[in-house]
Each structure stands twice: as structure tokens, then as C-alpha cells.
Structure 1
Amino acid sequence: MSDALERLRRLAGLRPQKSRTELTYIPLDEEGEPRPARSPAVQGRLEELAPGQEVETAVGCCYAATTAFPLEEERGRERLANALEARPATLALFHPEFRLDRDMRFTDAVFLDTETTGLGGAGVYAFMVGVGTFERWEGALHRADGAAGSKGVRATPTHFVVRQFFMRHPGEEAALLAALAELLETKQWMVTFNGRSFDLPLLRSRYRQNLAFLPVHCHRASRLEEGQPHLDLLPPARRLWRRRLQSCRLIHLEQRVLGVERGEEDVPGALIPALYLDYLRTGQAGEMRRVFYHNREDIVSMAALASHLVQVYASELTQPDELAAEDLFSLALCHESQNATSLAERAYRLALERAATDALRNEIFARWSALLKRQARWKEAAELWERWFTTVKGADVTPFIELAKYHEWQTRDLEQAEMWAAWGLHTVEALPAHRRLPGQRADLEHRLRRIQNKRKNLRIV
């Protein structure tokens, strides 16, 4: 069969194909010619730029750069140590798909981020996988000593340790995946940023592609499987900050939420695939220092952001000084979705006090009054509707319509109902035609006629 295949290849003008066991990686120079093997001096340069060491696995070696951050270190407005007190299960109330148990802690989690050769497709590699863990740091390369010991006693973490597994050429992919699988088994769950959509599906694909080369115990990398506990920070971040921020990319959240500015050595994520391909082509590791920095910053920021998110979602809003009006409004909607009415109303009230635009005030009044209306708290809702049109000078007709309904059906004060309906109709008629909602004027005219007819019939009786 193989002879026939090779004959077909020759007929088609194709070069003979090597078997999988024969495949080797040969770096090429600018002219496409095989490049001589890199000298020890060039290989050592990577170690100087990204301190670490070679990791040996059953299927070969890869490189791992290791950086330990003391927990006292501040990440903008957050200290890394804050994560030790945070309760991730707070976010499970709003995102049950994360499967977070109430006893889970960030000390049991792996913070994971990948750098890849592209954005998708079968040929995309994760050439770098960075993982961060809270642990007692004693210089171990990739064993997370913060995990429970043989007697079930947790060692108190002293550092947040980032290990960046890196394949110096595609032939080291199996070794990288084996080293990663070993580390993942030391922890109980996963934290990523957009990992549900990108990082984890990609890694699952790469493990499947490398089944023939990996030890059996590395085939599954169970922490990466669907259905495992996994906190993806992007959905709760979007839910909370998308009204205020134009973008919820991690680097923007660093700047606008955590107050972190990266150093000049950072590199835009869009350039990273090209930098890695250039490294493979030339063997020069200079620009890879920036890629290691970028990945490391992502992971440390994820730890700080996770802690901050939990604090905001768990806040009783007794000291909400740092929350903007838009964030408070988003938080109110989150609490309302969980039927936490008192917290929702507290957030609505604070958001209204801090709102700087009529557009935002209209949104807050509309949602808050709708909450009161659903609970049949009619008097409070009416007071809010009256406050609405006296606070926001504009053309929103909603408070007039709601007050007309309230007095027609709840207080049975038809004189008041007629006044509010007429006021609403006058407001709509003053609007340019392009700003009127379809059918709005006709509905108000119909409502006003009905109320007037009711009053006329009462006078006849």
C-alpha cells in the first residue's frame, strides 16, 4: 500500500512523504535554505531573556520560564493577596454555567492563557501556555505546592507563580502538552479570560492531534474538558462594565478598572503570531522577550481582575466610592436578575445619584420603576415616575403614560389620569415625526378618549 502511495505521489509530482516518526523540524534562512543548528550561545539567549529551564517529560523537552510574585505586590488597585479571601462562588449565582462550588477558592485554581500562531483552524498551535497558581514558593519548577498535601493540610500560599511553557519549535508540542497536563492535575479548576471560546477548545484540539505521542495519562487533560469547573472572566466583566467601557478586552480592563499601565516592552496581541514565526525562521529570541512579558502580564492581571470582580458582585454597596454610575446600573440589573431586590434598589439609587447624562437617567428610572411596578408597589412607583419627568428634561413620555395608567386603574382618580394622558399626548405631539415611536400617538389618543368617556359617563350617572 505504501509503495502504491509513493508511486501516486511521484506521478502527481509530489515529494515522498515521511512517516510521522521521521518528521523533523528544520529551521530555514531567508532564502529557504536549511539553517545550521543553533549554537549553545543562541539557545542560552532565550534563558537570559526569559529566565527558566528546560522541562523533561516522557515525550521530550520544552522550555518553561518561571516568575514568582509576592502576594503583597499590588496590581493597580488590587493586591494579589486579596484573592485569598475572595469567594469565587459569588459569581456562580450570576453564571451557573461556570459550575463553581461554594467551597472553591482561588488557591485551588489554575489561571491559564495561551499565545498562538493564529486565531483558529486546524493548523493553529498554542506555542506558549502560561499558567498561574497561588502556592508556597520554594523554587519548584512546575509542581504546585499549594495543593493539599498527603494529610489534607493546605500550605499557606506566599506567592503567585507564573510558569510559561514554551515550544522552541513545533517538535516540542507534545512535551509542552505533557508538562501542562501534569501541572493541571495539581489543581481543581480553571480560570481564563475568554477561555471558553478560544483557549480551551484550542488546547483540547491540540491534545487530540497529539494522542499518538502523549503518554496515556496525558490524553485527556481532564481539567480542560467541557463540564469541568471553569471561571471565564469575560462574561461577568462584560455584564458589569460594557456600559461604561468601549471595549472589555483584558488590556482595557487593566487600564480602566484596575488602574494598571503596562511597560513599553509589551507587544500588541495581534503581532504575536508573526513574532513567533520570525523566531522560528531566524532563531533570534530577542522579540520573544516581549511575548513572554505580554503573556505573564495577562495572567497576573487575571488574578487581580478575578478578585476585583468577586468583590464588586459580593458588595453590599455600603462603601461604593469606586463604582461609576454605569457600573452601579449594571450591578443593579445583575441583582434584579437574582431577585435580590434590596441590593438592586440600593444600586439603582446610587446609580441615579451619580448619573451624568439624561440618557442614563432615563434607563435607570425605567428599570427601577418597572421593578416596583412588578411588585405592585404602586405608590413608590408613582413617586418615582413623578421624580422622573421632573428630573430629566426631555421627551421621554413613559412617566406620563405610567401615571395615567396608575390613576386610571389603581387610584381610580380619572381627573388625574386624564391630566397625565393629555400631558403625555402633548409631549409626543411636540416631538419631530422621526423621534416618535410607531403607534405611540394613536395609543395616547385612544387612552385619553377612553378616560374622558369614563368621566362623562360618571357625570351622567
Structure 2
Amino acid sequence: MESISDRLKSLGVQKGFAKKSESRDSRAQQGQRTLQSLLNGEVQTNFYGESLSIREVYPPEYRHGVTNLSHPIDTDVICKVSRLASDINLQLDEILFLDTETSGLGGGTGTFAFLIGLGFYTGQGFQVQQLFMRDPSEEPSMLAELIKITTRFKAVLTYNGKSFDIPLLNNRYILNGLTSPFIQYPHIDLLQITRKIWSNRFDNRSLGHLENQLLGFFRSGEEVPGWMIPQIYFDFLADHNPIPLSGVFYHNKIDILSLAGLTLLAGETLSYPNSTDIHQLDQLSVAKVYQTLGRTEEALSIYDQCIQKDLTPPQQLQAIMNSAEMCKRDRKWDLALPLWKEASRLGSIEACIEIAKYLEHTTKEYDDALAWTEKARMLILNQTSYYYQQMKLAEVEKRSRRIQQKTQREKSTNND
């Protein structure tokens, strides 16, 4: 009697399944070989298996847009702005630039990085290295390869990586039973620096926008938009066609190059804010950075240059009031007072209040203090916001009553 197994074999079920499985494996292997050849990559092998690595070196003369990537900068101010520990002293070739391409844009436990772009300086120039998992099973191998690379550097630099890339990678290391190299790794998030330097000039501070506006670099037709990237990878896993992936590798590579270019530009802007090449609005931002860092003399010098330039009244007011704030903190009244008077001429309520405080508490000139309080009150009444009016009016009227009481006490004392 014919068995069920024999009947299935006679129907070709087992044979057909084997052929389909072999066919899928064959297509996957062929797709991986084509991708490796297309990108001139090499297979990296370690204890956990295999993953793909692609390297490309950009020589010292390479220009990314208008930026020479070999231009030296002082990284000290970048470290300080990034709030790294004071004992960390970094050279540019000790920084690992990093950007990931992931299976989703929202993060979460199920999101993984399938492509990790890295950039670093070598004796031959700037090298971009991309780690890629051709199949999700290669994730442990790719992550282990990244651990090996990070040991050569002292810090990682990303763009919004504190919120996205590094937490995502830390999570993937945990899920794969590995220890993340980034747990105690000093981290410079360039997005936070660009917000401090270029916020006065650009509302859009995405990497792509800044590379256009500041680096003068425009991507070629190979570029694919970021929102398409997860689907392109999943399509590759399904059909093993590597051609669309070339645009993803291009996107990631340019992100790394632009990351390096913007880092150099940020370092130069922070180090030489009085250079004639620096935009006046960027100077205003850098002055605030120096003020925050406690570098008062340098900040005052930059603000002074800004005040003398053709800025809009709100921008001039920002420079004047920030300068006056530092002078007040150091009790340099001879410098603060003229600044407040200039700010009051531009309609600053706060400047009038500061002058009134100075006259009331420091010089005890109560009549003059009352006059400046009244000027503040008149400026408040011209404000359109009812809530702001009521809040500020309550403040200045309280001050006015207190000054009047002091005046009466003084007159009473003099009469006695």
C-alpha cells in the first residue's frame, strides 16, 4: 500500500517546496553578491557571523560643497558647548561621526538600524565606512563590528543622535545580549550646537537644509528621501533586488560627509566669531553661547560689534540687553546704565525697570527711579496683550508704591 509520504512525493509536494526554498536562497545570495559588487564592499566575519562593510576615503583636497574637510579646527569650544566633562580633550581624529538608517522613523523596540554610517579622520583623509546587515540575522555581527571600531575613538558625534540613533543602538545591543559601547561614551550632538549658532538665521535646521544653505552642497539624483528608506530595505529583503539600495547608501554617506562639514563650520564660527566671513546674525548667536559659557569679555566684544551693525531693532535690543545683563552681574554700572538707556530708547520695558531698580537700590535717587517706573508703565499700556499688561502693570505699580513710601520716609527724616 502506498504511504502518504510516497503519495506526497508522487505529487511533487516535497520536491516543489525544496525547489522554491532553494530558489529563494539562490536569489538572496545572488542579491547579496550583486550588492557587494555594486558597492565595492567586503564581508566582515566575526564570532557572531557576517555583515557587509563598505569603505570610501576622501583625500585632503576633497571639498564637500564649499567646505574643505581637511580644514583644521579647535574642537575645544565644541566640547565645551556640548557640555562634555572638563577633562575631556579631543582631537578631530578622535571623534567618530555616526548616522543610522533604520527600519522605522518612530523608534520603539521593534525598530532596528540596518545601516550604520561612520566617518573618521585618517592619515589619508576622511574615511566613510558603512556597516550593513544583508539580512536581520546579521545584526549581532554588525553590532559587534561597531564595538570593535569604537575602541579607536574617544567620542561619538551625531545629528539628533541623543534622541534617536544612540538610544536605538543601545536598545538593540541589549536585545542581542551585547554591551553597548555608547553607555559611557562622550557624545556630541551637533543638532544642539546648530540650534545655538544658526537659530537666528534658519527656522529649518535639518541636516539637509543646512548642507544646502551653509555648505553649498546639493545632492545628486541618487538621493532618496528619508521616509522611503525603511520600505526600500524591506523590499530588498523580499525581492533581493539591490539596485534601489544604492540610493540609501548614497543618502547615508552624504549625511556623514555633511555631518563632518557642519562640524568644521561650527568650530570655525565658534572659534572666530569676529571674522568678516561670519554672518552678523551668527555673531549674535555665538555671543550668547560665550555668555552662557561665562566668557564675559569675549561675549561683550562680540555684542559690541553686533550693536554697531545694521540689525533689526529686536536683534539690537537682544544684543544690548544681554550685554547689560553681564555688566549688571559684574556690578559694572557705568557700562550697564548707558546700555539700558539705549534699550529704553528702542522701547524696552525691562530696560526701564532695570534703571529704576538701579536708582532705587544703588544710588537712592528715588525721584528719578519713580520717573523711570512711570516710563515703564506707559510702555506697558501700549502693549496689545491684555494678560501681559496686567502682569507687568501689577509689578511696576508695586514698585512705584514702594518708591513713594521710601521718598516719604526720606522727607520725614530730613524734616526731623
Letter in 2 for 1:229: P
Task: Give the deviation of 1:290 after TM superposition.
Answer: 0.8
Task: Give the deviation of 1:282 after TM superposition.
Answer: 1.5
In 2, are the aligned partners of 1:51 and 1:65 still within 8 Å (CA)?
Answer: yes
- Return closer, same or farther for 1:357/1:283 CA change in 2, 3 Å cut-off: same
CA distance in 1, matches of 2:86, 2:223: 33
Task: Give the deviation of 1:277 after TM superposition.
Answer: 0.7
Tell me which residue corresponds to 1:108. Answer: 94
- 1:200-254 deviations in whole A, cap 9, x for unaligned? 222233233333xxxxxxx435xx2322233222222222223432233222222
Percent identical across equivalent pairs? 30
| Structure 1 segment 340-351 matched on structure 2, within 5 A | 340-351=295-306
| SS of equivalent to 1:258 | coil
| SS of equivalent to 2:201 | coil
CA distance in 2, matches of 1:226, 1:107: 21
CA distance in 1, matches of 2:397, 2:172: 65
Letter in 2 for 1:255: N
CA root-mean-square deviation: 3.0
| Structure 1 segment 268-417 matched on structure 2, within 5 A | 268-315=225-272, 317-325=273-281, 327-354=282-309, 356-390=311-345, 392=346, 394=347, 396-417=348-369
Ranges in structure 1 where 5+ consecutive residues have no aligned partner: 1-25, 136-156, 212-218
Tell me which residue corresponds to 1:89. Answer: 76
- Return closer, same or farther for 1:430/1:337 CA change in 2, 3 Å cut-off: closer
Q: Verify: 1:170 aligned to 2:126, yes or no.
A: no
CA distance in 1, matches of 2:146, 2:406: 75
| SS of equivalent to 2:270 | helix
Q: Verify: 1:205 aligned to 2:171, yes or no.
A: yes
Task: Give the deviation of 1:452 after TM superposition.
Answer: 5.2
Q: Verify: 1:190 aligned to 2:156, yes or no.
A: yes
Q: Verify: 1:46 aligned to 2:21, yes or no.
A: no
In 1, are the aligned partners of 2:62 and 2:68 still within 8 Å (CA)?
Answer: yes
CA distance in 2, matches of 1:59, 1:262: 36
Higher helix share: 2
CA distance in 2, matches of 1:292, 1:432: 53
Letter in 1 for 2:179: R
Task: Give the deviation of 1:368 after TM superposition.
Answer: 2.1
Task: Give the deviation of 1:295 after TM superposition.
Answer: 0.5
In 2, are the aligned partners of 1:87 and 1:104 still within 8 Å (CA)?
Answer: no
Q: Verify: 1:220 aligned to 2:179, yes or no.
A: yes
CA distance in 1, matches of 2:393, 2:136: 67
Instruction: State which drifts further: 36-45 or 161-170.
Output: 36-45
Ranges in structure 2 where 5+ consecutive residues have no aligned partner: 1-17
Letter in 2 for 1:111: F
CA distance in 1, matches of 2:367, 2:50: 85
Letter in 1 for 2:280: A
In 1, are the aligned partners of 2:380 and 2:389 still within 8 Å (CA)?
Answer: no
Task: Give the deviation of 1:38 after TM superposition.
Answer: 1.3
Task: Give the deviation of 1:301 after TM superposition.
Answer: 1.4
Q: 1:422 aligns with which of 356, 369, 374?
A: 374
- Return closer, same or farther for 1:433/1:91 CA change in 2, 3 Å cut-off: closer
In 2, are the aligned partners of 1:89 and 1:100 still within 8 Å (CA)?
Answer: no
